Amino acid sequence: MATATAGPRSFSAAEVRARCAQGACLVSCHRRLYDLSGFVRLHPGGEQLLRRRAGTDVSAALDGPPHRHSANARRWLEQYYVGEMEPGDEQSLSETVDEKVVDAAAQIPEQTDLCYKTVDVEKDLVDWQKPLLWQVGYLGEKYDEWVHQPVDRPIRLFHSDILESLSKTAWYVVFLVWTPVVLYLSWFSYTSLAQGNTRLFSSFTTEYSIPVHKYYFPFIFLLGMFLWSLLEYLIHRFVFHMKPPASNYYLITLHFLLHGQHHKSPFDSSRLVFPPVPASLVIGFFYGVLRLLLPEVLGLSVFVGGLCGYVIYDMMHYYLHYGSPRKGTYLYGLKAYHVKHHFEHQRSGFGISTRFWDYPFRTLIPEETFKKED
């Protein structure tokens, strides 16, 4: 005898309000109910905006105006589906929530027994119970579309626990590892320049070589940071966002390892910054290039500025995903810009710590998409 499959659970308006009063964040959309409690602090528009929608129907807010949510945002919402509103009760959900209730709910830890799915394993193209790195290469022509459909769940790359641990990094590890290096190399570069032995073009001519004084160090340091911002843009656009050939298993796998994993799971906090071990290899390569192009101390001074720029970039990248900048600030705009890159404009908006290089390279996300949200 076949076992009947249980249908979606029904919720009354009273139950939804009660759960919201306990700190949960439930919203409905055309009778479908979603539990956003685990996502509320990650919401690109800010936690308070989503809290004010708790216990209400968000159909109109999704469709706009002022902002029509993308297909990826709607797909993202489906991950938090928990059931259906009882017939007739969807109309009784309040349209607004008192600000005092919002503030009180924000102080209550999310405690909910609603078990929502984060991905439909049966319908997805990969087996989420196994490491993904060795599976994605078989997706072929489906890979590019799949990797740009983000999900809210952690990713496992390797079978080996050791390799898996090396592929994850807490944000503060980058700061703790590289800040002492930046400070030491800055001191070393400055004191070396203070000796007065560094001259530009000395390998070509001694008569017309230019002395590099210690007072030039701050400007050389800033030049290194500026060059890093260009390098950040070029790597993000042409390496991280290359479109691997559908027939090349290894390039697809490499792309997923370098950056595809981040676009698939943009809020995986352990994969938002570059692990120090592989980072040291890349950093060493660029230092070697500078040594070939510039005098030793001068090249080191440019390098340390670039290294500082890299640390700021990694810290800012984490903040753009998990921080809550105040509306109207530079970082608020940058966060909105980066979120649109993930959910709507994956082929533009490559600047992370700055939009500057998106202007000359003509990859700026259209300004009108932000005016709709003001």
Residues annotated within the binding site for heme are 43, 69
Eight-state DSSP code of residue 196: T
CB 54 within 8 A of CB 26: yes
CA dist 227 and 230 (Å) reads: 5
Eight-state DSSP code of residue 186: H
Specify the DSSP element, H or E, that contains 227: helix 217-235
Handedness of CA 350, 355, 357, 363 (dihedral sign): positive
> Which residues fall in the annotated binding site for Zn(2+)?
236, 241, 259, 262-263, 317, 321, 338, 341-342
Q: How far is CA 338 from CA 44, 65, 211, 316, in A?
A: 10, 21, 42, 11
Which position has the token pair 């769940």?
153
269 Cβ contact partners less than 8 Å away, ≥ 6 residues apart: 170, 171, 318, 321, 322
What is the residue-wise DSSP string for 17-80? HHHHHTT--EEEETTEEEE-TTTGGG-TT-HHHHHHTTTSB-HHHHH-SS-PPPHHHHHHHGGG
> Which residues fall in the annotated binding site?
43, 69, 236, 241, 259, 262-263, 317, 321, 338, 341-342
Q: Beta strands 32-35 and 81-85: pairing type?
A: antiparallel
Number of Cβ within 10 Å of residue 23's Cβ equals 19
CB 305 within 8 A of CB 225: yes
